[in-house]
């Protein structure tokens, strides 16, 4: 879940291979056009990919303890009557996870 000024986004990740997951969605941003602000003026479709890079036995199963993820937005859609030069963005993340109760 990602927090935003207007709430948060949730994306369902689907398994694409061993230790790999991907999901996509879109969100809207305000865009100013001809002196007017369109609350849903820019639509931003995106993809999130997650890869489990380390997993360890925990209890009767296996728990991911290290992950890497990427967020990609290749295009933005102008939903206003104005011509606009819209950007794009991307990010990568990595980290370690601590199973609850393992402390």
Q: Which of 72, 77, 74, 71 lies closest to 29 in space, CA to CA?
A: 77
DSSP type of residue 80:
S
Per-residue pLDDT tens for 43-102? 999 999 999 999 888 888 888 889 999 999 888 999 999 987 787 788 888 887 765 655
pLDDT of residue 74: 81
Tell me the whole-structure pTM to 2 decimals: 0.75
Per-residue pLDDT tens for 26-40? 989 899 999 999 999
What sign for the dihedral angle of Cα 50, 56, 57, 63?
Answer: negative
Per-residue pLDDT tens for 2-12? 555 666 778 89
Tell me how crowded residue 84 is: count the other CB atoms within 10 A of its CB: 14
- CA triplet 74, 54, 23: central angle to 5 degrees? 30
CB 98 within 8 A of CB 66: no
């Amino acid at each position: 879940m990602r927090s935003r000024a207007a709430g948060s986004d949730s994306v369902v990740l689907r398994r694409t291979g061993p230790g790999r997951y991907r999901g996509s969605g879109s969100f809207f941003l305000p865009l100013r056009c001809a002196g007017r602000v369109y609350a849903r003026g820019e639509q931003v479709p995106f993809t999130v990919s997650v890869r489990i890079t380390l997993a360890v036995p925990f209890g009767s199963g296996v728990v991911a303890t290290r992950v890497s993820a990427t967020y990609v937005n290749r295009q933005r859609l102008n939903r206003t009557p104005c011509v606009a030069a819209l950007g794009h963005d991307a990010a990568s993340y990595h980290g370690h996870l601590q199973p609850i109760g393992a402390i």
